[in-house]
Chains A and B, each alone.
Chain A
Amino acid sequence: MNELWRRLLVLLRRERFDRELEEEMQFHLEMQAEENRENGLDAREARYTAKRQFGNSALLKETSREMWGWSWVESLGRDIAFALRLVRRSPPFAVLTILTLAFGLGANMAIFTMVYHVVLHPVRYRDAGRLMDIHLIMTEQRRGTIPMFWSYPKFEELRRWNQSFESVAAYQTRDVTLGGIDRPERLTETIVSACYFPTIGVGAALGRVFSDDEETLDWPRPVMLISDGLWRRDFGADPGAVGRTVRLQETPFTIVGVLPAGFRGESGITDVWVPMAAYLMDNPEAATSRNAHNLSAIGRLKAGVSPQQANEEVRLLVARMEREHPTVFMQSTWSGGARPLADALVDPLVRNALWILQAATAALLLISCLNLAGLLLGRSVARRREIAIRLALGVNRRALVRQLLVEPVMLALLGGALGLLFARWGMAWLRMMLPASETSAWLTFTRAIGPETLGFELPLVALFSLLSLAAGLLFGFLPAWRAARWDVNEVLKSGGATTGSPPHLRMRNALVVAQTAISLVLLASAGLMTRSFAARLATSVGAETRNIVTIRLATPWQRYGTDVSRTFYDELRHRAAALPGVEAAATANSIPLSEHFSTMGLSIQGKRGNFDAGIHSVSPDYFGLFRIPLLRGRLFDDRDRAGNPLVVLLNETAARRFFPGENPIGRHMAYPQMTKYQAEIVGVVGDVKYGSPEKPVMPDVYLASLQSGSDRILAVRTSGDALAIVSSLRQQVRALDHELPVYDVMTMEQRVASATWRARFSAVLLGLMSALALLLAALGTYGVFSYSVAARTRDIGIRIALGAGRKEILGMILRESAILCGVALALGLSAALALTHLLSSQLYGVTATDPLTFAAAAALLAAVAMAASFLPARRATKIDPVETLHYE
């Protein structure tokens, strides 16, 4: 410790130490001179001899100074100053390097931040590794094996019987309307057990979280918690919000706490939390019904229990539950398990897509480094004489390598700093490409990627700086190492001129080949993803998507019974249809590309067994609005209202599946709540994609709005821009009920974009990266051939003088280029064939080894590479033999 202090002192008082050393040595010299005089030498000779005896004082001072331990700092400083001078002498190279690296490093930083937040570290709770998602597993013939929610009685048993968890909490997410504030708002709400917040380790930022007694049915008064975002948005960040009473779904609740900023629950979009008692109040039979599966469960492992042990215990517990009270549900078998919470929150497809993008970005950085290494090799050749002289003067090779490395590392760090800036912009752009998190009536199994989740963290920045350093070392190492191994004599003898094959040409060729091969892999991948995206877009939705806007309304059941609801939506539809610019208006409870209700257990008169189908309630003009074709029978009309016989429509898939080879018109069906086969099938309409466009169409059954009364959505098709009509629609809604929030306002085009966001994201990013890779490959090829031609000027001049024609020279160069290209393509194709199967989970409509895509990528790359070598080849033909020989 003291030693460090002494050394630091030297650094601070450097001049004084230098002076003292100088003085001390002077003293020594004088003493030595005195002794020499005493031994008989005259004054002048005495001093001279003393100096000789003393030795090389400069070297001596240098060695003494080295003892102070800071000499490496000084030499580093000198190296940096020298590198800066070099950079200033050739700014284009420096600028090119810094820009190239800034792009490569910045892109990696942006993508890795996404990977970090979405895949590696999605759960930020205290000790998140100990949190498990506990779930049931249902295996059923038609649906396979799927994870399932808990019912309240089963969850209670889990809580009572388990030994692996120190606490277990249940939660459920749904949409609610927040009233009692300036403007009623539709929000996402999560219902939680009282021990939920202690389990995940999140406490209130203001006020308190729920207490244990607030879970039971006879709770003193309804309490709720709000998110920080909501607190700022609707309550003006007023501390007095705690204690205020507002309305959720028309029921008064008192706010008892505000949660910390950035916390929005497992869904990623929750703004309001209420205790489990709220769920039980709304659904009294849920407390005892074993088959009402609605709850998710989280548990915190006890100390010393491993996730595998917990998983096994849950399996055994559920087996016991099934033995004592078997679950009767469509011939299914039930099991249970537990997995880390992080696994449950990340959509595996999104995870795959992000890892693929990360690999591509890393490949791009590698290509950049290879490119720069080639450039640097070229430059080091130009400096050969200077380096050889330095070696001759006694610089040791290690110091030389270090010196040669300073320039690339410095450029890399500068590139990294600029890259951080690029990364910030890149992140902003990436965020725009992510889907808008919608409030939907349905549970999202995986967390929505909200803007709060993507921020720069300090550890990431530190990692990134290391990466910049590594990049610099990577591309600088090769040239530096080769330079240090040069034979000094050879270089000095030849006087810097070149004979035979130019130095480093093989190495530069190898670098370009590697670069080009990797670019091919990127190009092929981008091609595959682009084709997948195009295929997804081209997949017919089965309905019109232009100029249609939809809005959702949250008509609360307390004020809107079935009759009131029917009248309301009918009235709204008429008003909307009357607005100027509106071509058609319809109401429904689901729209194309959105989630919808489905039912299992339809029964058909005359057929045995149960049938699954999606259930949709629509008004008659729904089909006209979306231009869904009528294939048989008739559509709904005014006859189909409450009190009249129930009618249904089938989609084509349902007709084919339920009535193969028969006419479904006139047949009757029943859904689970009905006692007789009351619904008559009156028509068959075209298939429409509900849910994800990649999934195949399922059977759908349509009910008439006026008979079902379960509509919640208004759809409007306009002749012009659909969004322009939204404010008029809001006015109409307000005119009918001024407390009704309007939400989920989207055009069908936006829905299509949202449904394909992952494919678009991947295709755009990969496309961008391959374009950059292509550019770099072109630059690399151009660079290496420029160099090769320039270095062989003399040889080519001689050839021309000996009678070689222009075409021959051109052919010679182009042949070399073709060989390099061929090798690169061969390598690249094999690599691509081996690697593209990793993309398969993301592909749609195209196989991982699609020959057309591969051929196109290879052709494009070959064309670019050959074109890049053409210019230097042409320059070769213009070499004047007289001039080159003269120069000799």
Chain B
Amino acid sequence: MLILKTLARGPLHGYAIAQQIKRMSDDVLRVEEGSLYPALQRMLMKGWVKAEWVQAGPKRRARVYRLTPAGRKQLSAEVSDFTQVMQAIVRVIEPA
């Protein structure tokens, strides 16, 4: 969900996505590469993101991911699910 949200702001390559999440959460959430790339591949298969190669220097390229409409739908679905769960947990924790 976090990856999708990050991409909602604009296309990024893998490294940048990881940095972005780290920054936005004030270093609380750190996406391990071990889970980032598998997740990106899964999202590629599911059709939630699209990838293309972009020149990133004289002799190298970067793979940039962008959100698809299907991805956007998936994102809003995941966000609403998460919010529901959050609210339920809050209700339970809240002093009576």
Chain A residues within 8 Å of B, Cβ to Cβ: 2-3, 6-7, 10, 20-21, 23-25, 27-28, 30-32, 53-56, 59-60, 63-69
Taken together as a complex, chains A and B put the C-alpha atoms of A81 and B86 apart, in Å, by: 50
List 16 A-B pairs, Cβ < 8 Å: A3-B45, A6-B44, A7-B45, A23-B63, A24-B62, A25-B37, A27-B13, A27-B15, A28-B14, A55-B33, A60-B33, A63-B34, A64-B41, A66-B38, A67-B42, A68-B45
A58 → chain B, closest Cβ, in Å? 11
Interface centre among A2, A32, A53, A64, by most B CB within 10 Å? A64
Query: A residues within 8 A CB of B32?
Result: 55
Query: A residues within 8 A CB of B34?
Result: 55-56, 59-60, 63
Query: A residues within 8 A CB of B39?
Result: 67
Q: Which residue of B lies closest to A57 (CB)?
A: B33
Pick the 7 closest A-B CB pairs, nearest first: A67-B41, A67-B42, A31-B15, A63-B38, A64-B38, A64-B41, A28-B15
Query: B residues within 8 A CB of A2?
Result: 47
B20 → chain A, closest Cβ, in Å? 13
Taken together as a complex, chains A and B put the C-alpha atoms of A20 and B14 apart, in Å, by: 13
B13 → chain A, closest Cβ, in Å? 7
Taken together as a complex, chains A and B put the C-alpha atoms of A3 and B62 apart, in Å, by: 24
Taken together as a complex, chains A and B put the C-alpha atoms of A3 and B47 apart, in Å, by: 7
Prevailing SS type, chain B contact patch: helix
Interface centre among B32, B38, B41, by most A CB within 10 Å? B41
Q: Which residue of A lies closest to B63 (CB)?
A: A24
Check B41–A6 contact: CB distance below 8 A.
no
Given A20-B63, A28-B15, decide whether A69 and B45 contact each other with a Cβ distance below 8 A.
Answer: yes
B46 is an interface residue with CB less than 8 A from chain A? yes
Query: B residues within 8 A CB of A56?
Result: 34
Given A27-B61, A28-B15, A69-B45, decide whether A64 and B56 contact each other with a Cβ distance below 8 A.
Answer: no
B91 is an interface residue with CB less than 8 A from chain A? no
User: Please, what's the 1-or-0 string for B43-64, where 1 marks a CB less than 8 Å from any CB in chain A?
Assistant: 0111100000100100011110
Task: Tell me how many residue pairs across A and B have CB atoms closer than 8 Å.
Answer: 65
Interface centre among A24, A68, A69, by most B CB within 10 Å? A24
Q: Which residue of B lies closest to A25 (CB)?
A: B37
Query: A residues within 8 A CB of B44?
Result: 6, 67
Query: A residues within 8 A CB of B61?
Result: 23, 27
A24 touches which one: B14, B38, B42, B47 (CB < 8 A)?
B14
Taken together as a complex, chains A and B put the C-alpha atoms of A69 and B33 apart, in Å, by: 20
Taken together as a complex, chains A and B put the C-alpha atoms of A260 and B33 apart, in Å, by: 69
Q: Which residue of B lies closest to A24 (CB)?
A: B63
Check A28–B33 contact: CB distance below 8 A.
yes
Interface centre among B32, B37, B46, B53, by most A CB within 10 Å? B37
What class of interface size applies to chain B in its complex with A?
20 to 34
Taken together as a complex, chains A and B put the C-alpha atoms of A69 and B44 apart, in Å, by: 12
Query: A residues within 8 A CB of B60?
Result: 27, 30
B56 → chain A, closest Cβ, in Å? 7
Interface centre among A2, A27, A54, A66, by most B CB within 10 Å? A27
Taken together as a complex, chains A and B put the C-alpha atoms of A21 and B46 apart, in Å, by: 17
Query: A residues within 8 A CB of B53?
Result: 20
User: Please, what's the 1-or-0 string for B1-24, where 1 marks a CB less than 8 Å from any CB in chain A?
Assistant: 000000000000111000000000
A330 → chain B, closest Cβ, in Å? 83
Check A64–B37 contact: CB distance below 8 A.
yes
B46 touches which one: A3, A24, A27 (CB < 8 A)?
A3
Besides A27-B15, A53-B33, 19 more A-B contacts (Cβ < 8 Å) are A10-B45, A21-B41, A23-B61, A24-B14, A24-B63, A27-B13, A27-B61, A27-B62, A28-B14, A31-B15, A32-B15, A54-B33, A60-B33, A67-B38, A67-B39, A67-B42, A67-B44, A68-B41, A69-B45
Taken together as a complex, chains A and B put the C-alpha atoms of A56 and B34 apart, in Å, by: 8
Check A27–B41 contact: CB distance below 8 A.
no
A4 → chain B, closest Cβ, in Å? 10
Query: B residues within 8 A CB of A7?
Result: 45
Query: B residues within 8 A CB of A30?
Result: 60
Check B45–A67 contact: CB distance below 8 A.
yes
B62 → chain A, closest Cβ, in Å? 5
Query: B residues within 8 A CB of A23?
Result: 61, 63
Query: A residues within 8 A CB of B63?
Result: 20, 23-24, 27
Taken together as a complex, chains A and B put the C-alpha atoms of A23 and B13 apart, in Å, by: 12
Taken together as a complex, chains A and B put the C-alpha atoms of A23 and B34 apart, in Å, by: 16
Query: B residues within 8 A CB of A67?
Result: 38-39, 41-42, 44-45
Q: Which residue of B lies closest to A55 (CB)?
A: B34
Q: Which residue of A lies closest to B14 (CB)?
A: A28
Query: B residues within 8 A CB of A68?
Result: 41, 45
B81 → chain A, closest Cβ, in Å? 20
B18 → chain A, closest Cβ, in Å? 8
Taken together as a complex, chains A and B put the C-alpha atoms of A60 and B39 apart, in Å, by: 11
Query: B residues within 8 A CB of A25?
Result: 33, 37
Check B47–A60 contact: CB distance below 8 A.
no
Query: B residues within 8 A CB of A55?
Result: 32-34
Taken together as a complex, chains A and B put the C-alpha atoms of A7 and B33 apart, in Å, by: 23
Taken together as a complex, chains A and B put the C-alpha atoms of A64 and B46 apart, in Å, by: 14
Taken together as a complex, chains A and B put the C-alpha atoms of A27 and B12 apart, in Å, by: 13
Taken together as a complex, chains A and B put the C-alpha atoms of A885 and B40 apart, in Å, by: 62
Interface centre among B34, B39, B40, B56, by most A CB within 10 Å? B34
Query: B residues within 8 A CB of A54?
Result: 33
Taken together as a complex, chains A and B put the C-alpha atoms of A56 and B35 apart, in Å, by: 12
Check B15–A6 contact: CB distance below 8 A.
no
Taken together as a complex, chains A and B put the C-alpha atoms of A68 and B47 apart, in Å, by: 12
A793 → chain B, closest Cβ, in Å? 51
Taken together as a complex, chains A and B put the C-alpha atoms of A171 and B93 apart, in Å, by: 85
Taken together as a complex, chains A and B put the C-alpha atoms of A7 and B53 apart, in Å, by: 20
Check A24–B45 contact: CB distance below 8 A.
no
Taken together as a complex, chains A and B put the C-alpha atoms of A6 and B70 apart, in Å, by: 15
Q: Which residue of A lies closest to B37 (CB)?
A: A64
